Amino acid sequence: MFRKATEATIVAILAALAIATPVVDTHVNKVVSRPNIEPFPHNSGRTKPHSPPRTKECTVAALGGGKDDAPRILDAFHKCNQGGTVILDRQYTIATALDLTFLDSVDVALSGSIKFAADIDYWVENSFKYAFQSSTAFWKIGGRDVNIYGGGVGVIDGNGQPWWDGFARNSSLLRPISLVLDGLQGGSVTGIRMINPPNWFNLIANSSDILISDMVLTAKSSNKNSVKNSDGWDTYRSDHVVIQNSVIDNTDDCVSFKPNSTNIVVQGLRCNGSHGISVGSLGQYVEQYDIVENVYIYNNTMSNASDAARIKVWPGVHSEFQPILSGGGGSGYVKNITYEKYESINNDWAIEVNQCYGQSNKTLCELYPSNMTISDIYFIDLWGTTSSKHDPKVGTLVCSSPEQCYNFYAKNVSITSPKGNSKWVCSNFNTSGLEGFDCISG
C-alpha cells in the first residue's frame, strides 16, 4: 500500500498535517462510530481479541475557557465502564492528572479535541512517574478491552511548545508523554490526530494485544526552540502489538522497541524527519535483563531521518549520554528482527547497528563490550537513497564483539548515496550473510 513515496506525496502529507491544530471552542462535533479495523496484512501471531458491542453512552460536556474537564471525564468513565461508550465531541482541557487504568470493556469516541494545560509547575509535581528513562505522563489508560477512536477528526494536543521552551532553558526538565497505555489487555487506538507532544507521543507499557491504526502524528515548533524526543510509539514490557497505516512527522524515533517488547508488527507507516524505526535503546540498566524478540517491520517508508533501520544497545560500561539519559552495563538479547520492504528517502544511514550507544570512546567500548546479544537479524528488499552526510557510506553495522553479534542476513538491498555510492561499514561480526554488501572498515 505504501511501497513508493514520491517527493510530491510527502509534500502533500506534510501540508495535510499543517491543518491538524484544532480551533479552540466548545462546539459539538458529530459522534464517530467504532470502526472495524483489523491488522493487515500481518498480525502479531494471534487474532485480535473479541470486543462486544457497547450498550450505554456517556457524553461529556466541556466547561470551556481552559477550565479543567478532567473530573467530568473521569466521572463519565466510571458511569460508562463495563459496557459503555464515553463520547468526547467537544474541545476539552485536561489540567489535572487522570488515572484511567481501571477500565473494563469501554469505548472512547473522540470527535472533538483534548488539550493538556500548560501548567508546567503542576505537571512536574503531579504527573505519573515511570522509572524507565525518567518518563512521565499526563494520564494513563489501562484495564481490559478499551477502544479509542477518532474517525480521522479527533485530536490529542500535547501543547508541547511551552515544554520545548522550558527544556531549552533547563535540559533536566521532565516532560510528559501525550498518551500512555499502561496495563491494557486488549484494545485499540485508531483514527486520531496527535500534535505537539512535550516528550514522546505514545508509550505502550505493560500491555498486550494492542492495535494502533490510521493515526496522524505531527510535531512542529513555532520558534527557534526545537521539538525534543517526539517518539511516535515506544513499546515497553508489551507483547502482541500491531502499529499500522499511519503518517508520522517528528524528530525522534518513529517507532522504538524498548525493553521486553515481543511479537510486534509495524506495517504501512510513512515516517518523516525521525531517528528511524528502532530496536532500543537496550542494556541501559545494570540490574535489568532486556529482551526484544520477534519483531516484523514490513512495507514502510522513511524519509529525511538519521536512520531508516536501527538497532541500538548500550555498551558494558556506564556512559553519560545526555543530562537525563545515561547508563550501560545491562544484559539481555535482541533476536529475530526483520525489516522487509522498506524504502529509504534521503536518510543519513539506511541501516545502523550500534552496540556502543551513548559511548563516544570506541576503545572503551571495545574494552567493555556490550552484554546485549544481537542475533538473527534480517534486511530484505530495502531500496532507495541516503543523504550525502556519510557519502560514500550508506550504512553502519558496528558490534562491540563477534560473540555478541551473529546471524545477520541481507537480501535484495539496493541503497545508494546521491552520488551513486554504496559502501557499508561492517565490523566485529561475520558478514557472510550480507548479500551484495561492499563492506569497509569504519
Domains of the chain (ranges; CATH) run 1-160+176-210 (2.160.20.10)
Which of these, 109, 121, 180, lies nearest to 147 by C-alpha position?
Answer: 109
- The tens digit of pLDDT for each residue in 176-222 reads 999 999 999 999 999 999 999 999 999 999 999 999 999 999 999 99
Predicted TM-score (pTM) of this structure: 0.92
Determine which one of 209, 231, 252, 253 is catalytic: 252
Residue 31 amino acid letter: V
- The tens digit of pLDDT for each residue in 297-334 reads 999 999 999 999 999 998 888 777 766 677 788 999 99
Which of these, 186, 184, 254, lies nearest to 218 by C-alpha position?
Answer: 254
pLDDT at 316 (0 to 100): 85
Is 381 catalytic? The answer is no
Do residues 106 and 77 make contact, with C-beta atoms less than 8 angstroms apart? yes
Residue 48: other Cβ atoms inside 10 A = 18
- The tens digit of pLDDT for each residue in 73-120 reads 999 999 999 999 999 999 999 999 999 999 999 999 999 999 999 999
Residue 42: is its pLDDT beyond 90?
Answer: yes
Q: Which residue has the higher pLDDT, 76 or 2?
A: 76
Burial 367-382 (b: 16+ CB within 10 A, else e): ebbbbbbbebbbbbbb
Residue 132: is its pLDDT beyond 90?
Answer: no
Residue 233: is its pLDDT beyond 90?
Answer: yes
Average pLDDT of the chain to the nearest whole number = 92
Is 50 catalytic? The answer is no
CA gap 283, 290 in Å, rounded? 6
pLDDT at 27 (0 to 100): 67
CA gap 240, 267 in Å, rounded? 14
Residue 1: is its pLDDT beyond 60?
Answer: no
pLDDT at 324 (0 to 100): 61
DSSP category for residue 225: S
Determine which one of 89, 182, 214, 275 is catalytic: 275
Residue 294: is its pLDDT beyond 70?
Answer: yes
pLDDT at 119 (0 to 100): 97
19: pLDDT confidence band, cut at 50, 70 and 90? Answer: very low
Per-residue three-class SS string for 252-277: CCCEEECCCEEEEEEEEEEEECCCCE
CA 23 centroid distance within chain: 26
369: pLDDT confidence band, cut at 50, 70 and 90? Answer: confident
